[in-house]
């Protein structure tokens, strides 16, 4: 039932004039993909720099609240750019993503990564020593940082994998 609705929606989306313009103007897809990838680089590196600081592998002499203030705020506007460029890629070739379970895995992982990143940002802004209170807290922080790195890598992998699992 849901597959039929998604199939019908994808078919309709492909007939819209915006989709037609994206499909027939050669430079649009590479340009949008380039912006998507540059945005991926910003979001991924910002999140991982904070994760590595939680592991005390990087910038150990800089307080964690300073690191989160420096790197996490940029993630939110750049995620909006990813949403817009991702939506344009979908409109240009709706079936490729909307009828592909890998795309939904990527969106699920992204929702999780957003919640985890927002939680890390909130924890440090509400209590600067949150992750340094005791040994247990430090371990939980390192676990959260490891999960964050794995989930962001999962999103990258799923983003690339869409191309190899598209509907026939």
Q: Least distance from C-beta 1 to ligand HEM, angstroms?
A: 23
CB nearer to ligand HEM: give 21 or 129. 21
Instruction: Give the 3-state secondary structure of residue 51.
Output: helix
**Closest distance between ligand HEM and the C-beta of residue 106, in Å?**
7
Residue among 64 and 155 whose Cβ is closer to ligand HEM:
155
**Least spacing, CB of residue 127 vs ligand HEM, in Å:** 28
Q: How far is the CB of 163 from ligand HEM (least distance, A)?
A: 4
CB nearer to ligand HEM: give 110 or 131: 110
| Secondary structure of residue 58 in the 3-state scheme | coil
Which C-beta is closer to ligand HEM: that of 57 or that of 153?
153
User: Which strand (E) or helix (H) includes residue 37?
Assistant: helix 28-54
Judged by the rule CB under 6 A, the positions of this chain that interact with ligand HEM are 33, 36-37, 40, 43-44, 79, 82-83, 86-87, 89-90, 96-97, 110, 152, 155-156, 159-160, 162-163
**CA-based nearest residue to 85, from 40, 13, 152, 35:** 35
Say if residues 45 and 16 touch (Cβ distance below 8 Å). no
Characterize 147-164 residue by residue with b for buried, 16 or more Cβ atoms within 10 angstroms of its Cβ, and e for exposed.
ebbebbebbeebbebbee
Compare residues 136 and 168 and give the one whose CB is closer to ligand HEM.
168
CB of 58 vs ligand HEM, minimal distance in Å: 19
- Binning the chain into helix, strand and coil, the percentages to the nearest 5 are 80, 0, 20
The answer to whether 55 and 147 are in contact (CB under 8 A) is: no
């Amino acid at each position: 039932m849901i597959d039929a609705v998604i199939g019908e929606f994808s078919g309709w989306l492909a007939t819209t004039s915006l989709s037609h313009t994206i499909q027939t103007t050669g430079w649009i897809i590479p340009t949008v993909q380039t912006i998507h990838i540059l945005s991926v680089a910003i979001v991924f590196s910002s999140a991982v720099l904070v994760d590595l600081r939680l592991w005390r592998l990087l910038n150990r002499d800089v307080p964690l609240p300073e690191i989160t203030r420096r790197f996490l705020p940029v993630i939110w506007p750049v995620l909006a750019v990813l949403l817009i460029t991702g939506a344009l890629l979908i409109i240009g070739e709706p079936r490729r993503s909307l009828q592909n379970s890998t795309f939904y895995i990527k969106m699920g992982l992204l929702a999780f990564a957003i919640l985890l990143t927002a939680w890390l940002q909130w924890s440090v802004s509400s209590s600067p020593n949150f992750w340094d209170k005791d040994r247990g807290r430090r371990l939980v922080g390192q676990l959260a940082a490891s999960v964050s790195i794995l989930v962001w890598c999962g999103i990258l992998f799923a983003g690339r994998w869409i191309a190899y699992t598209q509907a026939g």
